[in-house]
Structure 1
């Protein structure tokens, strides 16, 4: 549990950093191709799409999930510590001059989140993700911004020279009328200097927006890992017994996508989750026939794989996806044989062996709407099917992601 309390120390300092105004720092505000949910929400499976687009978020971000449609604090926070420490307040050229490894390291983000599920269990988790392949990086398109940087640098030099000349003229002038006019010119020149940086960033962001719109479905590949704890909780929110099933465990996954023309994006996911499986069963005494309730815990894995086909653009898109999941130990009897050996005078009532069922097939439909530069709404409907194709559940899911800049 110590990891859960250490991680906020990494995240919280960056919340304040993320809200600095661009005009004060003189930096370029990066443009992301997409604003996907935080990785910890990916691992929890509480996002409309379980196979999300990859993206390199260069800002502090907050997510809300509405899977249960209850007024619970289902929230996740996400930030990139390496970017914050090494590149955020530096000239863009420092990032561009960095080697491949450091640019990938700059994409490392950490997230912490909590949700309450339909059984009123409280789920708490953290996750880390790093982009290892990016088909197009807006920050590496040097020619895209070079002309703007040169032009504004020349303007700054000219304005500073004008300001110096006006100040010298003011110092030598003896005419009251002329000195008043010079002071007005100095004030106007200072105003132009003060707005120069914001005007420069506005042009850069407008040009970056055109680039992102053109390459919204750029190829990308992420690797991620995370840990989720699921606790039984009471009405007061107190954490009680830890659930031992697929909802508590470590996860590691690879998530990537490739463009199909200008309007389509094909994404895929491969994930393994390591967890402890709680098994409930009866033991029967061979001599008396008496049955007693027993519990055992087995080490298990859950394998997940799926594909997502998305159509749209930088402002909105629609998707259809299919996710398949299976346990490494396929039956509760097989899991029990790994975890428990019955004494000689008792036998296991095999029909009584129970575990948490995982339905293997999930078909989802939905989309997203980027309502502003910083906010995106995600929505979807998930159809859960068993191994025989029989419907088990139909779940509406929605979420909001917000860049805190």
Structure 2
């Protein structure tokens, strides 16, 4: 058994915020109390001065397995997640082969069971990510897919999106959408504007590319009643559109990535390809709109879009290198540094967006701490500073290397097992 002593329990589901002791027996939380007798425990963690919170949940990661394991694999991705305080992740389906069949899905889920954390997987929405024909939703759901997403590739066929949402509604699972219409993108990975011009690029990715697809899809969500997640929202107009759709009664969620609430397009000039991503970093006005959306719960979820690439790939010419950055190991630190210590969210509100809200979207019995629940826990010191430099991920493609962040993670516990100690 494990005893966690004198930790500040912050639980977003119950809104409990107090110093307690917690007893873990096997994979569950056995008791929460004060001044519990420490005798007879195999493992005692002194959490004085630290926050004890539900294990973090990231609903948007790329573990590149199968097919691109030189970038990341399920085991290295899981270790990166554990170091970042995550005990559950949802992997995207753009592997090789893509996750549009039972065999590939089973491979990932079986390998995930051997990892340190809970590795869940979505199915593609369309066969081969080609946007022409829906996968067998029933078959993939029965095989263990927790939702559906063609992330990385927008679905241009409107009627197909409508049919997909109807099926997702029937199964009561989320459908998560990458919202960028390629018609309005000249150069992917950089915002169309001042910075793209300064780099000598003939255009970039316009916010219109995102806005028109978000507008379409939230209206289809309203019509179908489907649970729809707008992935890595990046424009101020898209935030307003989601807010409007919610006011009409649409069951729409939105997620923001830490890089989109921390950086703006100017970062591309400083970091080059390390700040190249889809959708791109936009203007400071867009960044502030995302923060406002997080504050008023238009955006309920923080998700990393953890996208590992090799050093050689990222060192390629800007227009030829892949988009995306790693994020699992810096997410909590960026949230505390930018949002909490920046005066935008309190700690309870931040953790809500990283635990119980993503759990609700994906119908997971996780993201909270109470007696009898799974012992998925992260323990961190919100006041301790740490430098971004050493990684469990195979990849180091992040603009945050060398940054000093607040919120040092001390332990990650997944189903009663200590999977990270820092």
On whether the aligned pair clears a TM of 0.5, the verdict is: no
* Higher strand content, 1 or 2: 1
- Work out which structure has the larger RCO, using CA pairs closer than 8 Å and 6 or more positions apart in sequence: 2
- Name which one, 1 or 2, has greater alpha-carbon Rg: 1
TM-score per shorter chain, which class? under 0.3
Normalized against structure 1, the TM-score is what? 0.24
